[in-house]
Amino acid sequence: MVVKEDSTLTDSTTSNQKMNNASATDKSSIISQEIKFARALAGNNPKLRRKVLKNLKTWLSTRSQSTFVFSDVDFLRLWKGLFYCMWMSDKPLVQEELAESLGSLVRCFDHDVPVAMQFFKAFLITMCNEWFGIDRWRMDKFMMLVRRVTRQAMFALHESGWQKEHVELFKQIIDTTILNSDTASYGLMNHFNDLFLNELAKVSDGNISKETVKQILEVFVIAVLRTDDETISRSIRKNIFYALMQQSDVGQEFEEKFELWKSTNFVAGNIHNVEFMTEDDAEGEENGEEQDNEQQEETAETKSEEENLVEMEDEASDEGEDTEKVYDPRAGRVSVDIPQIEFDPQDLIDLIEKYRYKSFVRTKCKKLAIELLKQFTKLTKGVYPIGVKHMPSINPQKFAVDIDQTVEELETFRTQLVGGKKKSSRELKTERKLKYRLEREKQLAMAQAKAAKRMKIMKRSIAATLKMTRIRS
């Protein structure tokens, strides 16, 4: 009996093998292309690096539209070359331009936020791995790179409308990479905590909901309750929680009041016992004539300034100059306005209450959670929980100095400072000699005093006997 082979099955298997072979060859060609990119970006030819960086932008945007999905290894391979591209760059303006170009790569994926977050994750992993190898001459430019790339990642979230699933993915990335003390160093983590709120305020421009702020801050609540390192805990508290309090309405009002109190040399000893005059009250106390004169001068100045501004605007419109929003301060009186991030302190109280009894929270972190709860509870009541509010006044009576007491305190401090240092035999011998001399001098002084006293008594007795003999004669 002869069994005939089914032709349809053989055709399908051969076609699958061809597809697998084709996909394998395509994948290997893509990997080789990525290696070429990494090698060219890490080279010492600046012209070649700039050219390859431009080609990389187009290559990332075109590949994101293809069927070949990016993997974490692909992005890590590319970021290895991009890291050394930044390493080889020189001169501040060139480094700033390169950092901006590398950050803009996050937004080359045609609004595909998960892929952009995957690219951002590869960047954070690369920085965590390479941070210890950065010397102090290159530290500033890599700190700038971390700021610019994080800003562009936030821009990707902002353009997508801060969707919950995208924000959740962003939280998972920073929780497993840069907020994890097992992978990230303290310096990198502290720098990220320092820039986070500023960049969030710049990117959102104040247009971010309280729910989104609560969702983002949840990862920092978990991090501060999870860590057993006091330096990391202090960094998160200072740069995240205390910074939120400072930029709130209550915090800004307190800072203005504190600066005025400081200018008066902390009068009254307590900031709440001082009444500060506002600008309206100060203007109300001026004379009416002076106000009229000043108003006339101000109106004349404002008119001239308005005319100058109109002329400058006309010139700018004629020249076709476009004003762009600045995100970094620079020379030439270019400042950056950081908008206020609106948040609800009760949301943070709820988050701390949610995680304070978890199994990963230690006793020290539980005490910290209680302290944060008290501070945010005060903030909900309109009371600023941090800052210097009491400055003890100087009492003149405290300047009375007891010399003997201070000498004794200095001597005890000296003995404590020296500690249990044993004296040498020569020092002990000299001390014994000095003690012996002091005792001999004391004995001689006492003997001389006794002899002088006896002489006085003898002189008195002789004088008395002479006087008696004269009287008898």
Tens-digit pLDDT profile for residues 277-286: 655 554 555 5
pLDDT of residue 246 exceeding 90, the answer is yes
Give yes or no: residues 238 and 375 share one domain: yes
Q: How far is CA 262 from CA 236, 269, 270, 390, in A?
A: 28, 11, 11, 12
Per-residue model confidence (pLDDT) at position 294 = 57
Give yes or no: residues 270 and 157 share one domain: no
Tokens at 380, concatenated: 């909900």
Residue 163 — pLDDT band, cuts 50, 70, 90?
very high
Per-residue model confidence (pLDDT) at position 67 = 74
Residue 13 — pLDDT band, cuts 50, 70, 90?
very low
Alpha helix stretches (DSSP H) within 363-424: 363-380, 403-418
Give yes or no: residues 94 and 131 share one domain: yes
The DSSP output letter for 286 is S
Q: What are phi and psi of 278, to 5 degrees?
A: -85, 170
Residue predicted with more confidence, 303 or 109: 109
Q: What is the mean pLDDT of residues 391-405?
A: 65
Give yes or no: residues 122 and 85 share one domain: yes
Q: Which long-range contacts (CB under 8 A, 24 or more apart) does 204-213 make?
A: 204/154, 204/158, 204/339, 204/341, 205/339, 206/339, 206/340, 206/341, 206/342, 208/162, 208/341, 208/342, 209/162, 210/342, 210/343, 210/344, 210/347, 212/162, 212/167, 213/341, 213/342, 213/343, 213/347
Q: What is the mean pLDDT of residues 247-268?
A: 87
Per-residue model confidence (pLDDT) at position 22 = 43
Q: What is the mean pLDDT of residues 106-132?
A: 92
pLDDT of residue 460 exceeding 50, the answer is yes
- Percent of the chain predicted with pLDDT > 70: 80
The answer to whether residue 109 sits within a structural domain is yes
Q: Which residues in 276-309 are b (16+ Cβ under 10 Å) and which e? A: eeeeeeeeeeeeeeeeeeeeeeeeeeeeeeeeee
Give yes or no: residues 37 and 172 share one domain: yes
Contact 227, 365 (CB under 8 A): yes
Q: How far is CA 50 from CA 36, 57, 96, 102, 206, in A?
A: 14, 11, 14, 11, 35
Q: What is the pLDDT of residues 401-431, one digit of tens each?
A: 677 788 788 878 877 776 656 677 887 888 8
CB hemisphere CA count around 124 (13 angstroms): 25
Among 28-37, 192-201, 381-390, the range scoring the smallest mean pLDDT is 28-37
Listed residues 180, 207, 234: the one ending a domain: 207
Residues with Cβ < 8 Å from 109, sequence gap 6 or more?
60, 61, 64, 115, 116, 119
Q: What is the domain range of residue 373?
A: 209-284+337-394
Give yes or no: residues 196 and 111 share one domain: yes
The answer to whether residue 10 sits within a structural domain is no
Of these ranges, 225-239, 292-306, 318-332, the one predicted with the greatest mean pLDDT is 225-239
Give yes or no: residues 198 and 237 share one domain: no
The answer to whether residue 296 sits within a structural domain is no
Q: What are phi and psi of 334, to 5 degrees?
A: -100, 105
The answer to whether residue 8 sits within a structural domain is no
Per-residue model confidence (pLDDT) at position 38 = 81
The answer to whether residue 433 sits within a structural domain is no
Residues with Cβ < 8 Å from 70, sequence gap 6 or more?
63, 64, 115, 118, 119
Residue 21 — pLDDT band, cuts 50, 70, 90?
very low
Give yes or no: residues 240 and 343 share one domain: yes
- The mean predicted confidence, pLDDT, of the chain is 82
Total-model pTM? 0.70
pLDDT of residue 151 exceeding 80, the answer is yes
Residue 176 — pLDDT band, cuts 50, 70, 90?
very high
Give yes or no: residues 72 and 162 share one domain: yes
Residue predicted with more confidence, 11 or 194: 194
Per-residue model confidence (pLDDT) at position 378 = 94
The answer to whether residue 203 sits within a structural domain is yes
The answer to whether residue 450 sits within a structural domain is yes
Question: Of 176, 160, 150, which Cα lies nearest the Cα of 72?
Answer: 176
What is the helix (H) or strand (E) element at residue 129, kind and residue range?
helix 113-130
Give yes or no: residues 248 and 352 share one domain: yes
Per-residue model confidence (pLDDT) at position 225 = 94
Per-residue model confidence (pLDDT) at position 399 = 52
Listed residues 147, 181, 207: the one ending a domain: 207
Give yes or no: residues 228 and 195 share one domain: no
Question: Of 236, 223, 224, which Cα lies nearest the Cα of 192?
Answer: 236
Give yes or no: residues 230 and 166 share one domain: no
SS3 330: strand
Number of domains in the chain: 3
Alpha helix stretches (DSSP H) within 267-362: 279-284, 288-319, 345-355
Q: What is the mean pLDDT of residues 206-218?
A: 93
Among 90-94, 264-268, 426-430, 446-450, the range scoring the smallest mean pLDDT is 264-268
Among 326-340, 428-442, 443-457, the range scoring the smallest mean pLDDT is 326-340
Contact 42, 81 (CB under 8 A): yes
Residues with Cβ < 8 Å from 65, sequence gap 6 or more?
110
The answer to whether residue 1 sits within a structural domain is no
